[in-house]
Amino acid sequence: MPVSHHEGCGCKNSDEVLKGGEFLLKYINIDKVTALNEKTHGSCRKILKSYDNRLSPDNCESDVDHELVTSLFNVSYLTLYFYENYGADTTKIFYIGLKGVGTNYIRKAVETVYEASPNLSDHKIEGSSKAAHFRFDAF
């Protein structure tokens, strides 16, 4: 179960947490979230939950050692590395909440068209036939 809170525990009041930014859960592709060393495959997806469900007992636990690595996509790319857990044999995580400014921007390849060698007949300008032509050869 998640840790119970008491006065003076150092946690922020929920009103203070809810200020500023937005929760980014709706921008995360949960199906692509992965974790290394998780005891139950796919349990890392259970810890990305709404703020209202943050106290639910669903968790992600490391299998053998205390190290746990979680990777998230669609936040460009984010890796969370939990190195220590203060002496326990395994690491259990119950909730990860990410806040910020979300966009629906999807990164794609840029389509460009260019001319490596321009053809002057493709770029005719009216009245240019009467103008003087200049040529400059650098070599």
Contacts of 40 (CB under 8 A, 6+ apart): 60, 61
Q: Rounded distance, CA 48 to CA 78, Å?
A: 13
Domain boundaries along the sequence of the chain: 14-100
> For 1-139, where are the E strands, in sequence order?
22-23, 34-36, 60-61, 68-73, 77-82, 92-93, 99-100
pLDDT at 36: 79
pLDDT in tens, 56-111: 888 888 776 666 666 666 557 777 787 777 777 888 888 888 877 777 777 788 88
pLDDT in tens, 23-49: 888 878 888 888 877 888 888 888 888
Q: What is the pTM of this model?
A: 0.51
List the beta bridge partners of residue 92: 61
Which amino acid, 5? H
